[in-house]
C-alpha cells in the first residue's frame, strides 16, 4: 500500500503571519484534494526567516497552543492529513525556538521538535534544542521522524531516527540559494538523497520559494525514496509548488542490500567512536 506524501513549497514573508497561514491552509487543502495523507510545510512557516534581530523573532514566535498551530491542527483534522510544519516557537520557559510540529489526522499535536543544529545567525535568535528527533507512529500511515533543515547535514543525527524505526523523515527547510556548477543539483538535495540511501528510508524535505529581505531561496523541495532517488522535485522550482509522491513506506522497513548485506545488520559501531 502506498501513502501519498506532499511537500508544499510556499512563498512566505517575514512578519506576515496571517498571509503565511492563509498560504499554508490553501496548500494543505490542495494537497489533500490531490490525495496526500502526509503534508510537509517549510521551516518557520508561521513567521518567515530573515529577522532583523532577536526582538523581531521573539515578537513573531508563538506557543504550541497559539493561533498558528491551532489553525494547522484544525486544517489537519478537516482534511484528514498528517501535517509536519516548521514554526518560530515561544516555549514554556519563554525561550525562542526554531521548531517543527507533527499533527496527526485527528488534529492532535503528537510531537514538537526543537532544531538542534542552528545555522548561521540563527544563534542570535534561537535557543538550540537538546533532545533527539521524535519518531511518531501515525496509525494508518507509518513511522514518521521529524527534524529541521541544517539537522539533516549531520549523518549521525539522521541515523538516530532511522535506528528508531522511522520509515519517512519529514524535514521543513529553508535553503538559501548558493552558487553551483551549471546543471548540478543543489548540494542540500544531494545530501538528502544520501541520507535516504544510507538509511534505506524515505525523506521529504520541504523548502520555500522566492526571496526575503535580499535572501533568495533554492526552491529545492524533494521527496526521495530508500534508494536515494527523487520521486518528486527532480529540479528546483523558483516559485510556489506542490510536490506529490506515492511512497510505499513498508520498503523502509527492509534494510537489505541484495542477498548478502543489510545496512543496519552490517554496522560495526564499535569501530566508529566516539
**Which member of 115, 122, 170, 247 is catalytic?**
115
In-domain check, residue 206? yes
Residue 23's pLDDT is 99
In-domain check, residue 104? yes
Question: CB-based burial of residue 238 (10 Å sphere; 0-12 exposed, 13-18 middle, 19+ buried)?
Answer: middle
Length of the chain: 274
| Residue 32 clears pLDDT 80, i.e. is over it | yes
In-domain check, residue 153? yes
Specify whether 149 is catalytic.
Answer: yes
Cα–Cα distance between 274 and 31 in angstroms, integer? 43
Segment holding 8, helix H or strand E: strand 3-9
Specify whether 255 is catalytic.
Answer: no
**Which member of 7, 125, 149, 206 is catalytic?**
149
In-domain check, residue 10? yes
Q: Return contacts of 266-272, CB within 8 angstroms, 24+ apart.
A: none
pLDDT tens digits for 223-253?
999 999 999 999 999 899 999 999 999 999 9
Domain hosting 163: range is 3-254
Cα–Cα distance between 223 and 31 in angstroms, integer? 14
Residue 176's alpha-carbon distances to 41, 85, 149, 165, 185, in angstroms, are 16, 18, 11, 30, 14
* Contact (Cβ atoms closer than 8 angstroms) between residue 128 and residue 212: no
pLDDT tens digits for 177-222?
999 999 999 999 999 999 999 999 999 999 999 999 999 999 999 9
| Residue 274 clears pLDDT 70, i.e. is over it | no
| Residue 267 clears pLDDT 80, i.e. is over it | yes
CATH code of residue 223: 3.60.110.10
In-domain check, residue 167? yes
Residue 24 is placed in which grid cell?
499554508
Cα–Cα distance between 242 and 71 in angstroms, integer? 20
In-domain check, residue 271? no
Cα–Cα distance between 259 and 264 in angstroms, integer? 14
Residue 208: beta bridge partners?
10
Residue 209's pLDDT is 96
What's the mean pLDDT in 6-26?
99
In-domain check, residue 216? yes
* Contact (Cβ atoms closer than 8 angstroms) between residue 52 and residue 44: no
In-domain check, residue 266? no
Specify whether 115 is catalytic.
Answer: yes
Judged by DSSP in three states, 242 sits in strand
What's the mean pLDDT in 156-182?
98
Mean pLDDT for all residues in the chain: 98
The pairing of beta strand 241-247 with beta strand 3-9: antiparallel
Number of domains in the chain: 1
**Which member of 7, 43, 62, 212 is catalytic?**
43
Cα–Cα distance between 34 and 125 in angstroms, integer? 37
What's the mean pLDDT in 151-160?
98
Helix spans in the chain (H): 17-33, 54-60, 67-79, 155-163, 187-199
| pTM of the complete model | 0.98
Amino acid at each position: 500500500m502506498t501513502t501519498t506524501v506532499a511537500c508544499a513549497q510556499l512563498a512566505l514573508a517575514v512578519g506576515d503571519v496571517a498571509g503565511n497561514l492563509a498560504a499554508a491552509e490553501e496548500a494543505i487543502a490542495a494537497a489533500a484534494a490531490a490525495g496526500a495523507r502526509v503534508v510537509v510545510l517549510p521551516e518557520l512557516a508561521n513567521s518567515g526567516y530573515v529577522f532583523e534581530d532577536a526582538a523581531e523573532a521573539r515578537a513573531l514566535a508563538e506557543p504550541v497552543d497559539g493561533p498558528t498551530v491551532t489553525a494547522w491542527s484544525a486544517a489537519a483534522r478537516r482534511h484528514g492529513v498528517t501535517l509536519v510544519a516548521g514554526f518560530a516557537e515561544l516555549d514554556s520557559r519563554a525561550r525562542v525556538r526554531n521548531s517543527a510540529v507533527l499533527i496527526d489526522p485527528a488534529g492532535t499535536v503528537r510531537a514538537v521538535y526543537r532544531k538542534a543544529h542552528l545555522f548561521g545567525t540563527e544563534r542570535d535568535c534561537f535557543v538550540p534544542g537538546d533532545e533527539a528527533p521524535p519518531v511518531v507512529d501515525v496509525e494508518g500511515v507509518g513511522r514518521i521522524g521529524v527534524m529541521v533543515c541544517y539537522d539533516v547535514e549531520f549523518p549521525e543525527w539522521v541515523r538516530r531516527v532511522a535506528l528508531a524505526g522511522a520509515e519517512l523523515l519529514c524535514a521543513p527547510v529553508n535553503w538559501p540559494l548558493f552558487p553551483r556548477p551549471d546543471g548540478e543539483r543543489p548540494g542540500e538535495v544531494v545530501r538528502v538523497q544520501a541520507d535516504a540511501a544510507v538509511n534505506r528510508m524515505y525523506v521529504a524535505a520541504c523548502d520555500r520559494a522566492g526571496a526575503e529581505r535580499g535572501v533568495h531561496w533554492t526552491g529545492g523541495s524533494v521527496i526521495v525514496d530508500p534508494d536515494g532517488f527523487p520521486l518528486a522535485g527532480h529540479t528546483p522550482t523558483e516559485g510556489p509548488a506542490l510536490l506529490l509522491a506515492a511512497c510505499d513506506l513498508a520498503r523502509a522497513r527492509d534494510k537489505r542490500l541484495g542477498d548478502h548485506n543489510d545496512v543496519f545488520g552490517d554496522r560495526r559501531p564499535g569501530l566508529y567512536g566516539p
